Amino acid sequence: MTEHKFFQIDAFAEKAMAGGPAAVMPMDAFPAAEVMQAIAAENNLAETAFIVAKGGGAFDLRWFTPALEVPLCGHATLASAHALYAHLGFDGPEIGFDTKSGRLTVKRLGDGRLEMDFPAQPPRVVPMLEELVDAVGARPQELTAGPYLMAIFASPDEIIALKPDLVKVNQIAGEATGGRGNLICAASGAGWKGGSFDVVSRFFAPGSGIPEDPATGSAHCIIAPFFSDRMGKAELNCFQAYPGRGAHITTRLAGERVKLIGRARTVIEGVFRL
């Protein structure tokens, strides 16, 4: 039997039991992929992050949902950085994570928030899909495609009321993007809750084995360039409106990169025995 440190961390969270929960497990070396997949299924969170130290402030990082390994995950990266800074003794100016999406960096800001550097993924506008209108039960104003399909709605209230058919969403979004069948639903936050947020969104991820994700950094790599261009501002205050939780994600567009900024909270710390 082997023992491994285990942290459950709420990422992009202003308080405990908000944002997106992720499991973080530091390892001496990655076990076999099927073992990591079984651990992620056991944890049954949107993502489990596995980190392996390389020295010099660099770490290998892989992410697994309960169903599959994914190439990019923002909230579990933020959670991994939080674990290193808060629990594992890292005190360097910047963490470098080597991943299937290349080198991702995270640094701690003066106010305690964490800032991640991710690739921006601007979507392209595509024709409206009537089958998607039927699947989500509402008509978006506009439709875009990138790594994920993104539907733009008139108001946050429309997004909050959505109850999509996720089987249909999986098929439609997968065919439209040539990738996983995941869907961002987003709207300008102007005038909503006193105008506190620039963008409000939800992320339905049946293609990744997750009905709805509470906090999705990779989705904001698409949201940021689209809405920054439309609104004429580099920095956006975003809210991901998962029912009962809610994630606060600040984005800052910097050329072909996007900074994803937020806080994290540790809610469980323990040992995982294999």
In angstroms, the CA 140 to CA 148 distance is 15
8 A C-beta contact, residue 262 and residue 251: no
* DSSP collapsed to 3 states, 71-83: CCCHHHHHHHHHH
8 A C-beta contact, residue 232 and residue 269: no
3-state secondary structure of 94: coil
In this structure, which amino acid lies at residue 183? L
Burial state string for 48-78 with b = 16 or more CB within 10 A and e = fewer than 16 = bbbbebeeeebbebbbbbbeebbebbbbbbb
- List active site positions: 47
Angle of helix 74-86 relative to helix 217-231, nearest 10 degrees, comes to: 110
